[in-house]
Structure 1
Amino acid sequence: MTVQTHTLSNGLRIVTENMPGLKSASVGIWIMAGGRHERVEQNGIAHFLEHMAFKGTTRRTALRIAEEIEDVGGYINAYTSREMTAYYARVLEDDVPLAIDVIADILLDPLFEQAEIDVERGVILQEIGQALDTPDDIVFDWLQEVAYPDQPLGRTILGPTERVRGFGRDDLAGFVGEHYGPDRMILSAAGAVDHDAICALVERLFGHLPPARAAEAPVPARFVGGERRELKQLEQVHFALALEGPDYRDPAIYTAQVFANALGGGMSSRLFQEIRENRGLCYTIFAQAGAYADSGMMTIYAGTSAEQIDELANLTIDEMRRSAEDMSEAEVARARTQMKAGMLMGLESPSNRAERLARMLSIWGYVPSVEDTVERIDAVGLEDVRRFGAATATGAGAALALYGPAERAPTLSRLRDRLAA
């Protein structure tokens, strides 16, 4: 498999990877505009815009957009994250030109009709309501808010209800004008794809676009930390703890991921074995390391009863502290293997591979080989993991979010004292 890249004169980047033996392909546009690129009065507009892209163009109705892709057995979708928005489709080999044409159409020629805006506003308000009714979902939004208070990176992607109720056509068009320039777009395709044919088509569809006016740089992230405790009579207390970690350009990100995986990444991990298997305190518990362009955090989540939250929280801290002291070579080796296997298995999917191409190109300006990533994971040793664990325990910023009958849950201050003891 060969990765090929090309940049149009207006700055739009194209990256493709042919995967021999496949009869299908995944293709999409990744735009470097997400939640953290919004001003406070725009909070939620990137996600609203993603919804509106499918509501019709001058050439296609909303129904026709869906029908043209589904008539050929494909699917089309989109998502908004804190750092980018993606519009993508999965189709058979012969239908790649159709998928690119549809994606170009919804990005370059959306109608933004007021009636459709009002309909989609209702959909998004229902989505917000669903998130608020899903404790193990909303608790992560609250965790993000207390980790990065009063910053774009800490705001919810969906936006607050009062903002969403007020968005209109000018707000949507304004965000497009600020952030949807070709120099902020990456077209990525993987599977049964022809690089030269895709480049020619993208040149025809996007080559006329002028670079967007310079947008304000996103506000630099600053992990502050803090605690949010929302008391409600639920069946469980939802516990989410975050500790400041490296950004995704920091070589230490691989160490952070290995440490998080060994701590709570699978059924053999320390948190799962001690807190679920040995103590029976929860059904779900996990740890993961996430990262942004200029910040990152390791997150631990669990759900348990009001009577057991104190024990669960304290045991979680004890396992973190102990991991920094006596993590074994076998645990580190297992965590590395799980990471590599998960990555390699995932990259058998053209959708996952197309997303990786876009993300790597946006981060590094080139696409590191899979072999290079494997080598970086393999380079993480036992002492690296222990040092990272110790530094995280004693010096990292921390944030805590609790939702449910959390009256008996320990405070963040108490947990930090226990972690550093």
Structure 2
Amino acid sequence: MQFHHTVLDNGLRVIAEVNDQAHSVASGFFVKAGSRDESTEVAGVSHFLEHMVFKGTPRRDALAVNRDFDRVGAKHNAQTSEEDTFYHVTCLPEYLPQAFDVLSDILRPNLAEEDFDTEKQVIIEEIRMYLDNPMSVAYEAAKAAHFGPHPLGQSILGTIESITDLKVDQMRHYFAQRYSPSNIVLAFAGKTDWDQVVALAKAHCGGWQGGQITRQAVPPRGTGSFQAILRAEDQQQTIIGVGDAPPLESSDRYAAQLLATVLGDHTGSRLYWTLIDPGYADGVEVSYQDYNQAGALFTFLSCDPGETQANLGRISEVYRAATAEGITEEELTQAKNKVLARSVLRSERPMGRLASLGFHWTYRREYLSVAQELEAFSRVTLDDLRRILAEWPLLPMTIVSVGPTTDVHAPE
């Protein structure tokens, strides 16, 4: 595999990992625009804009966008997070010019008022759908509680009120700022030719205009608060705990990922054997999330309401034991094997490599080959895990409980 990178005259950064052994090619635009970049007045605009991008351009209406992707058998999608909006397509190498023509075209959408008014109702229904989901309610509330006034606590979807009040001119202004070429990384992975992708980028994106935009990424500090939300209609109790963790800029992110795997992987972890195997809980998992100048360790729990307090105590006991006694060599080896295997399996597909390439370059201006990524995890030692546990304590956590009981409190 060969890695290449360049910057177009307008500031668009273009990267590619060329793999002649692949049978497909993936391409994606990584726009540094997410819910943390929004003011309260336009909460949810990043995600709303992601929808609007597919509603038509000066060259295509919404039907033509889908039709032209389908004509070449391309698989396309997009997603919005707290920090980014990611548009991507995967296709056979011979159809990259046609597929990229559509993908690049939609990144300069019409943002027509009629489409805006129609799609607004779709967004509102999506928000209502997530409000019916206990885990989604708990996750949004946990982020808001943990990060407090920090923009990472803002909802990706926004609220029914913020979307209802949003005006198309506000979206157009946000687009003009955040979708500047200097705020976007264009990545390719798979079977392609570097000269070809540079030519495609120049032909389709070279004329894009826009100024410089920055993000004030201030490191947050979690609140450690507790909140119980009553949902009498729920059958289970849903709990999410959040603790601070290393940011994405730190090399400690590898140790944090392995620690999360040891503590709360969905199989064979400490919490699995403590809560799932004995039947105390239906689900428990720990997930490490890295952000720009921030990080978080999320603990997810779903169980019978009557077991909630006892399960919080069990989780607390597991975390206290890990802090006091450390992690064993056997546990670290098992966690490494899991993480390395998943990394390799994901990387066998160009689409699996695309996300890693794009996000690494967006935030670290760094290329990591699969081998380099595996080596970074392999280098983590027990001392590294002990240091992470000391510098980023597991307890106390911010905790949000959602369900039919509010007779819950933070574990002692």
Kept in 2: contact 1:43–1:159 (CA 8 A): yes
Question: TM-score, normalized by length of structure 1?
Answer: 0.93
Q: How much has 1:174 moved relative to structure 2? A: 0.3
Kept in 1: contact 2:25–2:92 (CA 8 A): yes
Q: Which residue of 1 aligns with 2:92?
A: 92
Question: Percent identity, aligned pairs only?
Answer: 27
Q: Secondary structure at the match of 1:190?
A: strand
Q: Which residue of 1 aligns with 2:69?
A: 69
Query: 366-375 vs 258-267, which deviates more?
Result: 366-375
Q: Secondary structure at the match of 1:307?
A: helix
Q: How much has 1:353 moved relative to structure 2? A: 0.6
Alignment length (residue pairs): 409
Show CA shifts across 1:214-264 (max 9, x none). 435335241232222211121111011011111011122111111110001
Matched, 1:191 2:190: yes
Q: Which residue of 1 aligns with 2:289?
A: 290
Map residues 110-129 of structure 1 onto 2, 5 A cutoff: 110-129=109-128
Kept in 1: contact 2:183–2:212 (CA 8 A): no
Q: Which residue of 2 aligns with 1:224?
A: 222
Q: How much has 1:30 moved relative to structure 2? A: 0.8
C-alpha separation in 2, matches of 1:198 and 1:393: 46
Question: TM-score, normalized by length of structure 2?
Answer: 0.95
C-alpha separation in 1, matches of 2:23 and 2:345: 18
Amino acid of the residue matched to residue 181 of structure 2? P
- Contiguous gaps of at least 5 residues in structure 1: none
Q: Which residue of 2 aligns with 1:202?
A: 201
C-alpha separation in 1, matches of 2:80 and 2:297: 21
Amino acid of the residue matched to residue 125 of structure 1? I
C-alpha separation in 1, matches of 2:391 and 2:364: 27
Kept in 1: contact 2:30–2:85 (CA 8 A): yes
Q: Which residue of 2 aligns with 1:9?
A: 9
Q: How much has 1:22 moved relative to structure 2? A: 2.7
C-alpha separation in 2, matches of 1:265 and 1:88: 29
CA 1:23–1:384: 2 relative to 1, 3 Å: closer
Amino acid of the residue matched to residue 231 of structure 1? L
Map residues 136-155 of structure 1 onto 2, 5 A cutoff: 136-155=135-154
Let me know the Cα RMSD of the aligned residues. Answer: 1.6
Kept in 2: contact 1:5–1:16 (CA 8 A): yes
C-alpha separation in 1, matches of 2:347 and 2:214: 34
Q: Which residue of 1 aligns with 2:159?
A: 160
Map residues 18-417 of structure 1 onto 2, 5 A cutoff: 18-108=18-108, 110-210=109-209, 212-218=210-216, 220-225=218-223, 226-233=225-232, 234-278=234-278, 280-324=279-323, 325-393=325-393, 398-411=397-410, 415=411
Show CA shifts across 1:115-172 (max 9, x none). 2111111111111011111111221111111111122211000001111112222111
Amino acid of the residue matched to residue 102 of structure 1? V
Kept in 1: contact 2:244–2:295 (CA 8 A): yes
Q: Secondary structure at the match of 1:102?
A: helix
Runs of 4+ in structure 1 displaced over 4 angstroms?
A: none
Kept in 2: contact 1:320–1:393 (CA 8 A): no
C-alpha separation in 2, matches of 1:320 and 1:392: 12
Amino acid of the residue matched to residue 185 of structure 1? I
Q: How much has 1:397 moved relative to structure 2? A: 6.3
- Contiguous gaps of at least 5 residues in structure 2: none
Show CA shifts across 1:72-94 (max 9, x none). 21122111111111111111111
C-alpha separation in 2, matches of 1:372 and 1:91: 27
C-alpha separation in 2, matches of 1:322 and 1:347: 35
C-alpha separation in 2, matches of 1:337 and 1:89: 30
Kept in 1: contact 2:72–2:98 (CA 8 A): no
C-alpha separation in 1, matches of 2:211 and 2:23: 40
